[in-house]
Structure 1
Amino acid sequence: MLKHLGKCLLLFISFTLSNPGEVLESYNEVHDRKYYEQRGDILWEVPIHKKMIALTFDDGPHPKITPQILDLLNQYEAKATFFVVGNRIDKNTDIILREINEGHEIGNHTFSHAMFNRNVSKQKISSEIEMTARKLQEAAHVSGGWFRPPGGYYNDRVVAAAKEQGYKVVMWSWHQDTEDWKRPGVKKIAQKVINNARNGDIVLMHDFVHNSNQTIEALKIILPELAAQGYQFVTISQLLEAKHIEEMMNEMK
């Protein structure tokens, strides 16, 4: 038995040395959405009966765009989740603090907006998450929470690296990707959100799009329209908390 195990180990070591890429691929396996949702590893949306939607903004903070978005959110008593890029934090600490003070939520969006395709090592993923986590702790005493990988790249390594640093991976509702980074036009962005609005949606937008204020102008349409329809704009954590309360109430019936 021991001889057999020893031979297997030698074969594995030999295969690893001669085929490192194949071993990397097997460890870096990507599963479908259902797999990660059932395990509670990645969040796309939160099905709920209440008319609640979570607006999320990636790639900031931006010294001009983000404050204007915050002004609009404040006008409609809306809360949101901002996924910040670490290398933007030092020059925009005041904006991070404003987001927190006004009841919004801060998420981690890597340090340099790195794309985690299948060939990126776990060490690189962990480093990108850790550097931003450290900046957020230093700037605003924020730790853990939500992590969103740029470009929506996810796999086992991303999930594991995020978990190890106290984060849960969160994506967005597939029917609520505004693609505002492509600058498709104010009307198109607004209609995407309004026409597809469902309870528990997580909407993807950006508070930094080069040479564009389309997201700001679209919010001027989205916020009053959905508010008139009875929707409440909440953070991702608030959405989950409401879902938890809803489930508790149903169990008590």
Structure 2
Amino acid sequence: DEKVVFLTFDAGYDNGVLPKILDVLDEKNVKSTFFVTGDFIERESDLLMEIVWRGHLVGNHTWSHKDITKLSDQELETELRKVEGAYQRLTLRPMPKLFRPPAGQFNRESLLKVQDLGYKTFFWSLAYRDWLTDEQKGEEFAYKNVMDNLHNGAIILLHTVSEDNCKALGRIIDGIRAEGYAICNLDYFLKSSSSKEAACGRLF
């Protein structure tokens, strides 16, 4: 079986780190998915366009990053549709139907509603407390958190505000590949088996 992992990012705001992350991804020829909130789209429209121009996917992380288990069906639909609309007005293209619930909070009803709206929901299997910008613990800490927990099929969640992630990202990508993994994007799950290689950072 092919060994694959998926590199994803959550983006609620930018503190100057994201442009450097994009440069590393370019340098390493890796495509990722960025799950964005409405606030990010409104405040960081230039960065959103940069993400799209560089060939990455953008997923829906809701408009206001609320606990979706506490929303009515209509409120949840509004949260997703507002992000879709803002994305489409900015990029002039439909938004990929990729969803990640804020803070990973969900219940059966909310996931069924998201599915009814045409979305595939993506959680993660590898993450750490990297979003606390005043508690960054260094490049080596970030590197070890990813590499020590790497497994086949891993969906890695990193936050775009982490300096540690940014500094370690090149090494992380090299380390993942050295372990024999292909780094794929989430459209891997939307493609036929014959075209899955297009979703990966290297060919099968």
TM-score, normalised with respect to structure 2: 0.83
Q: CA deviation at 1:102?
A: 1.8
One-letter amino acid of the structure 2 residue matched with residue 69 of structure 1: I
SS of residue in 2 equivalent to 1:89: helix
Contact 1:144 1:166 in 2 (8 A): no
Q: CA deviation at 1:168?
A: 1.4
Deviations 1:85-109 (A, max 9, x none): 1122133222222222222111000
Choose from 140, 147, 150 the match for 1:194.
147
Bigger Cα displacement from structure 2, 95-104 vs 106-115? 95-104
Which consecutive residues of structure 2, in runs of 5 or more, have no partner in the other structure? 197-204
Query: CA 1:142–1:96 in structure 2 vs 1: closer, same or farther (change >3 Å)?
Result: farther
Tell me if 1:135 matches 2:86. Answer: yes
Q: CA deviation at 1:221?
A: 2.6
Contact 2:35 2:59 in 1 (8 A): yes
How many residues of Structure 1 are paired with residues of Structure 2 in the alignment? Answer: 192
Query: CA 1:77–1:246 in structure 2 vs 1: closer, same or farther (change >3 Å)?
Result: closer
Query: CA 1:197–1:241 in structure 2 vs 1: closer, same or farther (change >3 Å)?
Result: farther
Query: CA 1:239–1:196 in structure 2 vs 1: closer, same or farther (change >3 Å)?
Result: farther
| Structure 1 residues 71-86: aligned runs within 5 Å | 71-86=23-38
Alignment correspondent of 1:107 = 59
Choose from 5, 10, 17 the match for 1:58.
10
Q: CA deviation at 1:215?
A: 1.7
Q: CA deviation at 1:82?
A: 0.3
Query: CA 1:184–1:90 in structure 2 vs 1: closer, same or farther (change >3 Å)?
Result: closer
State the distance in 2 between where 1:171 and 1:179 align.
Answer: 15
| Structure 1 residues 24-43: aligned runs within 5 Å | none
Which consecutive residues of structure 1, in runs of 5 or more, have no partner in the other structure? 1-48, 248-253
Identical columns (%): 31
Q: CA deviation at 1:137?
A: 1.1
Bigger Cα displacement from structure 2, 86-95 vs 98-107? 86-95
One-letter amino acid of the structure 1 residue matched with residue 40 of structure 2: R
Bigger Cα displacement from structure 2, 216-225 vs 231-240? 231-240
State the distance in 2 between where 1:239 and 1:216 align.
Answer: 26
Alignment correspondent of 2:171 = 221
Query: CA 1:246–1:142 in structure 2 vs 1: closer, same or farther (change >3 Å)?
Result: closer
4+ runs of 1 displaced by more than 6 Å?
none
Query: CA 1:201–1:111 in structure 2 vs 1: closer, same or farther (change >3 Å)?
Result: same
RMSD: 2.3
| Structure 1 residues 141-220: aligned runs within 5 Å | 141-173=93-125, 176-182=126-132, 183=135, 185=137, 186-208=139-161, 212-220=162-170
